[in-house]
Every structure is written in structure tokens, then in C-alpha cells.
Amino acid sequence: MKKLLTIAGSDCSGGAGIQADLKTFSAYGVFGMSVIVSVVAENTARVISIQNITPEVISDQIDAIYEDIGTDAVKIGMLSDHECMEAVGYKLKQYRPKHIVIDPVMYAKNGSPLMQQDAVGTLIRDILPFADVLTPNIPEAERITGITIESIHDMEEAAKRIADQGVRHVLVKGGHSLGDEATDILYDGQQMYYFTEKRIDTLNTHGTGCTYSSAIAAGLALTDNLHEAVKQAKAYVTTAIRHSLHIGSGPGPTHHFYDLYQHGLQRSDPTKQI
């Protein structure tokens, strides 16, 4: 059984954050664990408050995982301020986990900020270098690079600039672009690869980025192959959006109900021991 860890924020409404990550891990048939960095009182429409967990307790949670169980891959989501980033960065350096997927969460789908504005420098300096794959959406790629993204060519340029900052693989997600297709661009420092699906006509995309990055992490643990992991994760997130729920007054959540086997996706055998 592969062991997956998410280090992220808790979304009490269940659509994004730790909750989306654990649902994705279950659908992939892997064992999910979580380090909660912030407790976010949020729903589909708004963020009411954010309580960051202290750096000591963030560190203790990470120690608790590595002194006892360990991981086959790690997904990192919302890190809201310098202190959270420093605590997580310090522990990543100590434990050097295999397969780190980082989703540089900055805003919720409803526009509420989830990362302090002045923490982006710390994110770039202390966290991004640990990424085997970084998965910015278009606004996040714009914030990290300072360029405006209005086309596939701009997405490619942003991916190159982020790779120049020392990130091994950059996956710029096209969910926020316009047009009939949702294209994501993967850059490995040499070549661009394109992952495209038809855009689904829905407002219910709360948690898509969390779902996608967790699926990539699970796929990496299962296959050891980034291209295969992204291909499967793209199919997974597209199906989760297709079956998204019209609940709440804002963007509704992705849904993880289905059996991956039925969709031809790889799932680990839950009866097999490590």
C-alpha cells in the first residue's frame, strides 16, 4: 500500500484543501495522511476566518509521520504565511521525501486570499526548490513570474521562467483560461508537453487544483512516471469536475464518488501490503 501525505489547509466545507486531497487518495486506493497547516472556516461562497497552526505543531505533525510511517509521495497545498513556510521547508530539508508535488495556493475559487501577499518571496525562496512538480494556475504563475498570461505562448513563457528559478517540472494549469479546451502545460526544463481536455461548462470547480495535485502525487507514488501520473490525474480531475456537485451558493465542489477501475485508471490493490 502506497503512503501519501498532504501538507495543506483544512476546508471545513469539504470541497478543497486536506479534505479534497484525502478523498482523492482514497479514490486512488492509497493510504492518506494529513498535516494540517491552517484551519480555514470557509464554504463555497466565502472565507470567514483562517487560523494558522503554530510552527511547533506543524513540525510535530511532520515528525509524527516520519518517525513512524514515512511516505511514498507528498502533496503540499495552502501555506498561508512565512512561519508556516519556514516550518514546512525546514522539515522537508530534514526528511527529503521522494516525489513532492507543490500546489502554490494563493486564492480560493471565490477570490478570497489564502496566502499573505508578502509571503510570495518566501514561497519562491524556501519552498519551490523542493518541488519535483509545481502546479500553479494562471494567476499564481503570473504572481510568481510577474508576467501577464493571455495565451498558450504566455503559459509556456511562465513555465520557462519558473523552471529558471530552480523548479524541476512546472505544470501551468489552464483552468482559468478562456476557450473550449482546458490545456495544461508541463515543462521539464527542455521540452513542453500538453495535456488537453474539453472544457466542461460548469461553475462548480471548487477544489480542482487540490484534486489534481493530489492525484498527480498518488500517480507518482504508484507509477514513478510523471507523464503517466499527469495523464491519469488529468482524466481523474476532468471526471471529478464532470460529476461536480451543485451545492452551496458559490462554486460547488468536485466529486470523487466513482470507481477508477471503470475509467481505465490505475488504482493500487488495497489488499496488497507494502
Ligand X SMILES: Nc1ncnc2c1ncn2[C@@H]1O[C@H](COP(=O)(O)OP(=O)(O)OP(=O)(O)O)[C@@H](O)[C@H]1O
**What are the residues binding ligand MP5 (CB under 6 A)?**
8-11, 16-17, 40, 42, 77-78, 105, 108-109, 114, 206-210
Q: Among 86-94, 141-149, 209-217, 223-231, which window interacts with ligand X (CB under 6 A)? A: 209-217
Cβ–Cβ under 8 Å, residues 172 and 140: no
Active site residue 207: yes
Give the interface segment with ligand X, choosing from 33-41, 42-50, 154-162, 232-240 (CB under 6 A). Answer: 232-240
- Cell numbers 480542482 correspond to 208
Nearest residue to ligand MP5 on Cβ basis:
17
Q: Is position 52 an interface residue for ligand X (rule: CB under 6 A)?
A: no
Question: Closest distance between ligand MP5 and the C-beta of residue 168, in Å?
Answer: 23
With a CB cutoff of 8 Å and minimum separation 6, the contacts of 255 are 240, 243, 244, 245
Integer Cα distance of 63 and 60 in angstroms = 5
Catalytic status, residue 210? yes
Q: What distance in Å separates the CA atoms of residue 50 and residue 223, rounded to the nearest whole number? A: 36
**Of 263, 56, 238, 61, nearest in space to 230 by CA:** 238
Q: Does 210 bind ligand X (CB under 6 A)?
A: yes
**Cβ closest to ligand X, residue 122 vs residue 208:** 208
Record the cell numbers describing residue 48, joined without a space.
470567514
Q: How far apart are CA 130 and CA 100, in angstroms?
A: 7
To ligand MP5, the closest distance from the beta carbon of 212 in angstroms equals 10
Rounded Cα distance between 252 and 239, Å, is 15
> Which positions touch ligand X (CB under 6 A)?
16, 105, 109, 137, 173-176, 182, 184, 197, 199-200, 202, 205, 207-210, 212, 234, 237-238, 241
Catalytic sites, residue numbers: 173, 205, 207-210
